[in-house]
Amino acid sequence: MSAAPAMTPTSGESARHDDSGDQVVGARLSDRLRRWRPFLAAAALLVLVALATLLTSPRTSKVPYAIDNPHDDGARALAELLRDEGVDVTNVESTDAALNAAVDGATVVVLNAGQLSFSERWQLAQVGQNVVVLGALYQNLSGLTEVTSKGSSADEGTTLKPECSDPDAVAAQTLAGSTGSVDLEYVEDAVGCFPVGQNTYAYATADLDGGGTLRVIADPRIVTNAKLTTAGNASLAIRALGHNERVVWLDASRLGLVTTVWESPLRPPWLPVLMLLGVIVAVALAFVRGRRFGRLVSEDLPVVVHATETAVGRGRLYRRAGDRARAAQALRAGTALRLGRALGLPAAASREELLQATERAGGRPTTQIDHALYGPTPANDQDLADLAVHLEQIESEVHQR
């Protein structure tokens, strides 16, 4: 019994001391790890480089007027300039965060102020801190201030002069046109600079209800990277925004956008988390069920060739070729062979002998048998089938007697 070693304790004992006694297929985990070490090291290096690149490269965006947008319509240049001046510029995603920062002494820069709700604007006015509104065209500022937005503009060719006492505006000296303006007609203590038309200004300051100063730059484009170097844009923007140690950047048009699948008001809050857990459980289940308990055992099976396959194939060839002559001949030859054997005729018996013997045995007239056995080739498939049946009948009649 070569296949079955003796089952004595000594055999197990000797196997333990044997170097090759380990029957487990495959190398040890430590050996495998050692073999994979170059690949593992390369993968780790790759991950490290990727992480380092991700962390060190500044995050940029393409959002207009955003402080991390380095493109023409961004405000990254302004943010960097302010940072150079020692002003901390950060983005905030919600009004609450902006209000909290304002309480801590930060200037709130509001873009698209009209998209804040009335109460949010009111809260902003009451917080008692400097607020800068960038862009007044088509923006509703009610609640925040009495300053109203006007559509009158000055094209880029026009050089606007401050014509006011505001030090920031005076320092800026000129502006090259302004798209949109503000109206200060019903506002007390408001100062309007860079007049665009009758009682409309490109820049204005006013006091807020809760204390603090509101500054409105009617045309937001003066803070963009593309326009910052034009005329006194940089000067005005830095001075207007740089009154405090800290600036928070609030884009009111993007407040509702940064929602995630976890914070949708349409579903109960636990549902998506439960679905996440469900996915994890499914993965674990797949691993439990999918892990094979040992490899598949293969087996060489014998070929399946039916012995009748050649006959079936040849029959199909006859049919496709419509070879009725050959088919009929084969049927007749087979019947004649069996008839001759059943009637005890020698293999060399003549046609006449066979016909007469068959007539004697079966009782059919010779002419019929002759027609079936030696008649013409059937004209169509139906005749061939009839002939086949006829031959079988003759044969069975002979066998019955």
Partner 1 sequence: MYLTMRTVWLLAAGAVFVLLQPRPATALAWTALVALLVTVDVVAAPSPRGLRATRAVARSVRLGETTTDTVTLTNTTGRAMSLRVRDAWPPSAGASGERRELNIPAGRRSRMRTSLTPTRRGDRTADLVTVRVRGPLGLAGRQASLTVPARLRVLPRFSSRRHLPSRLARLREMDGRSAVMVRGAGTEFDSLREYVVGDDVRSIDWRSTARRGDVVVRTWRPERDRRVLILVDTGRMAAARLDDAPRLDAQIEATLLMAALASRAGDRVDAVALDVETRAQVRGVSGPALLGALADAFAPLQPALVETDWTLVAATVEASLSQHAFVVVLTGLDGSGTNTAMLRALATMARKHTVVVASATDPGLERLRSRRDDAESVYTAAAAERDLVELDAVRTRLRRAGVEVVEAGPGALPPALADTYLALKAAGRL
Query: What is the rounded CA–CA span in Å between residue 71 and residue 80?
Result: 14
* Residues constituting the chain: 401
**Rule CB under 8 A: is residue 293 a binding residue for partner 1?**
yes
Give the contact letters, 317-356, x = binds to partner 1 (CB under 8 A), - = no: xxx------xxx-xx-xxx-x---------x---------
- CB of 17: closest distance to partner 1 in angstroms? 10
**Count of residues touching partner 1 (by CB under 8 A):** 75
Closer by beta carbon to partner 1, 77 or else 384 = 384
CA-to-CA separations, 135 to 138, 202, 226, in angstroms, rounded:
9, 10, 16
**Rule CB under 8 A: is residue 55 a binding residue for partner 1?**
no
Quick one: CA torsion of 378, 379, 385, 388, rounded to 10 degrees? 0
The burial class, CB within 10 Å (0-12 / 13-18 / 19+), for 17 is exposed
Closer by beta carbon to partner 1, 49 or else 283 = 283
Q: Pick the stretch among 151-159, 206-214, 246-254, 384-392 that binds partner 1 (CB under 8 A).
A: 384-392
Closer by beta carbon to partner 1, 2 or else 198 = 2
Q: Which of 58, 256, 265, 302 binds partner 1 (CB under 8 A)?
A: 302
Query: What is the rounded CA–CA span in Å between residue 214 and residue 356?
Result: 132
| Per-residue tokens: 101 | 């920062």
Chain Cα centroid distance, residue 285 = 24
Q: Which of 269, 363, 365, 376 binds partner 1 (CB under 8 A)?
A: 269
Do 246 and 163 form a contact (C-beta atoms < 8 A)?
A: no
**Rule CB under 8 A: is residue 398 a binding residue for partner 1?**
no
3-state secondary structure of 287: helix
Q: Pick the stretch among 131-139, 198-206, 227-235, 290-298 that binds partner 1 (CB under 8 A).
A: 290-298
Give the contact letters, 12-41, x = binds to partner 1 (CB under 8 A), - = no: x--xx----xxxxxx-x-------------
Query: What is the rounded CA–CA span in Å between residue 358 and residue 342?
Result: 10
Query: What is the rounded CA–CA span in Å between residue 109 and residue 93?
Result: 12
Closer by beta carbon to partner 1, 197 or else 269 = 269
**Rule CB under 8 A: is residue 3 a binding residue for partner 1?**
yes
3-state secondary structure of 243: coil
Q: Which of 287, 344, 379, 401 binds partner 1 (CB under 8 A)?
A: 287
Q: What is the CA radius of gyration of the chain?
A: 50
**Rule CB under 8 A: is residue 379 a binding residue for partner 1?**
no
Q: Pick the stretch among 149-157, 176-184, 247-255, 296-304 that binds partner 1 (CB under 8 A).
A: 296-304
Chain Cα centroid distance, residue 29 = 36
Do 72 and 65 form a contact (C-beta atoms < 8 A)?
A: no
- CB of 337: closest distance to partner 1 in angstroms? 6
Closer by beta carbon to partner 1, 306 or else 401 = 306
- CB of 325: closest distance to partner 1 in angstroms? 11
- CB of 190: closest distance to partner 1 in angstroms? 47
